[in-house]
Structure 1
Amino acid sequence: MSAANDEALLPTEGTAEQIASASAYRLAHEDAELLSSDDLRPLRLQLEFLKPERALRAAGIQSTIVVFGGARILSLEVAAAQLDAVHARDREEPGRPNSHKEMIAARRAVKYSRYYLEAQRFASLVSGRFQHEGRREFVVVTGGGPGIMEAANRGAYQVGARSVGLNVTLPHEQQPNPYITPELAFRFHYFSLRKMHFLLRAKALVAFPGGFGTLDELFEVLTLVQTGKVPRVPVILVGSAFWKCLIDFDFLCEEGLVSPGDLKLFSYAESAEDIVRQLEAFYGGRVPDASFPEWTP
């Protein structure tokens, strides 16, 4: 074979650069395509567990209180402004279509805004009492979004305390509310890992009125407590009229679908002070043991 043919078989000048830029040559942990593949799902699950866990340990957070509630519940300021806007449109355009429905919705938002206020007040009370430098107990944890979640994070923020937000990727992206402690604002892809982090340090669950997400989270916790997968913790439903209208727990008991003792797994409260009193009664006025519960997700 001639020298010219030998030279033709040599790599071209650009070949080394092409190899270095190829996906196969990337370090595995830098290969986004690899990490997002179906085969790597177990690793992504582990990462979603480890990333928040490391941050929470570094922040010294030992026990938490989980606050659930509707993302659509507004503060009184926002709800009142919406009601004023409906009144203004009615004055400008009497008899306009959908006015009655808008008025009902606006008045309902004002009515439900009291839960925003109580969530905010509760978070301020419990955060101001139990969070101290070097030991952070009963740290408020929310889903990180708007509504009741925002109210609870806001209450902690107002007293200079830390709070956690566990956001999740959704088809319509949910932005984190601005009151979460920045280094404790996490975003999840997997609902299952998010739910695990809600409960790993939880010493109480406080559920305000909400929709499907709130109900899903509430009943998962009740099921885990009922079946002994997590230790008994206070589960407090805020707004007895709302909850008793929404769910007929007595009917479930009467039909033999739950035991009478299961109805003692939760209680009702109407105000921030009422929630705090129930927590004090349950724990005897002491901060609970911060050791991790042994449970199976």
Structure 2
Amino acid sequence: MGNPDGARGWEEQRQGPVLRRRDQVQPGTTDQRLLDTEGDSEWVHTDPWRVMRIQSEFVEGFGALAELPSAISVFGSARTPQDTPEYEAGIRIGNALVEAGFAVITGGGPGAMEAANRGAREAGGISVGLGIELPFEQGLNPHVDIGVNFRYFFVRKTMFVKYASGFVVLPGGLGTLDELFEALTLVQTGKVTRFPIVLFGSAYWSGLVDWLRDTVVAQGKASERDLLLFHVTDDVDEAVALVTKETSR
């Protein structure tokens, strides 16, 4: 409850760590508002409530993935058709990662993600899908054995990096590029260490690599050594060797 302070001349209220004064004092107590069966439901859309949901997503993600063995995150387009070399490459990469002793983490969707999950599952390994709530949500693909769905991209991104020892990035769109540059930035700034990143498919990635070298680096927006933060290959065995060589299990 608010209490007037004669010395200060204003009303003051303490709600746990929060201090309210003057016209910011609220009527009633926190317990009263919690137990009141009537009232405005807009509180479920406020920032403090969102913080709790964000916290719960971190807790659920950590709880689901904490006991994973060493893992590699595989990214790629959700639009990759099944009857394409890219999809087949995803299967082979998922299979080879499991044979190398790693779990496989993807975004849990269709296309290239499904291919990597399928390869991991068919090889008898651990197939993980980290989904995201989207307007065009398609759900987790049937080859996911451990799945977690997230509301918030930034929570999901944390899981991709925290529980993986490296990234394999197949051809993909904006979401794939987002994850790629997020990882590159984390390595460049030293936020993560010993985190190999492999781009699979030189024909697809060559234009981006050329732009980074001939424009970004050439104009001094990045360092020449930043081009060493990733590898490009067309060979599945080489991709797996590159992405796993710096890991410790």
Q: Secondary structure at the match of 1:255?
A: coil
Q: Which runs of 5+ in 2 are unaligned?
A: 1-33
Q: Which runs of 5+ in 1 are unaligned?
A: 1-21, 27-31, 77-112, 131-137, 290-297
1:139-180 deviations in whole A, cap 9, x for unaligned? 110000011100000001111211110100101122211000
Using the size of structure 2 for normalisation, the TM-score is 0.79
* Alignment correspondent of 2:207: 245
Q: Does 1:24 align with 2:36?
A: yes
Following TM superposition, the consecutive aligned residue runs of length 4 or more in structure 1 with deviations greater than 6 angstroms are none
Using the size of structure 1 for normalisation, the TM-score is 0.67
Which aligned pairs between 1:70-149 and structure 2 lie closer than 5 A? Answer: 70-76=77-83, 113-130=84-101, 138-149=102-113
Q: How far apart are the structure 2 equivalents of 1:277 and 1:160?
A: 20
Q: How far apart are the structure 1 equivalents of 2:72 and 2:136?
A: 27
What is the CA distance between 1:269 and its match in structure 2? 1.2
Decide which of 131, 136, 147 is 1:167's aligned counterpart.
131
Query: Do 2:107 and 2:129's aligned partners in 1 also have CA atoms closer than 8 Å?
Result: yes
What is the CA distance between 1:277 and its match in structure 2? 2.5
The AA in structure 1 aligned to 2:52 is L
* Alignment correspondent of 1:17: none
Aligned-residue sequence identity (percent) comes to 42
Q: How far apart are the structure 1 equivalents of 2:119 and 2:74?
A: 12
CA distance 1:214–1:64, shift in 2 (3 Å): same
The AA in structure 2 aligned to 1:288 is S
What is the CA distance between 1:70 and its match in structure 2? 0.6
Q: Secondary structure at the match of 2:72?
A: strand
Query: Do 2:200 and 2:233's aligned partners in 1 also have CA atoms closer than 8 Å?
Result: yes
The AA in structure 1 aligned to 2:164 is A
Q: How far apart are the structure 2 equivalents of 1:277 and 1:129?
A: 9
Query: Do 2:198 and 2:243's aligned partners in 1 also have CA atoms closer than 8 Å?
Result: no
What is the CA distance between 1:37 and its match in structure 2? 4.3
Q: How far apart are the structure 1 equivalents of 2:52 and 2:169?
A: 32
Q: Which has the higher contact order (CA 8 A, sep 6+)?
A: 1
Bigger radius of gyration: 1
Q: Does 1:177 align with 2:131?
A: no
User: Which is helix-richer, 1 or 2?
Assistant: 1
Aligned length: 212
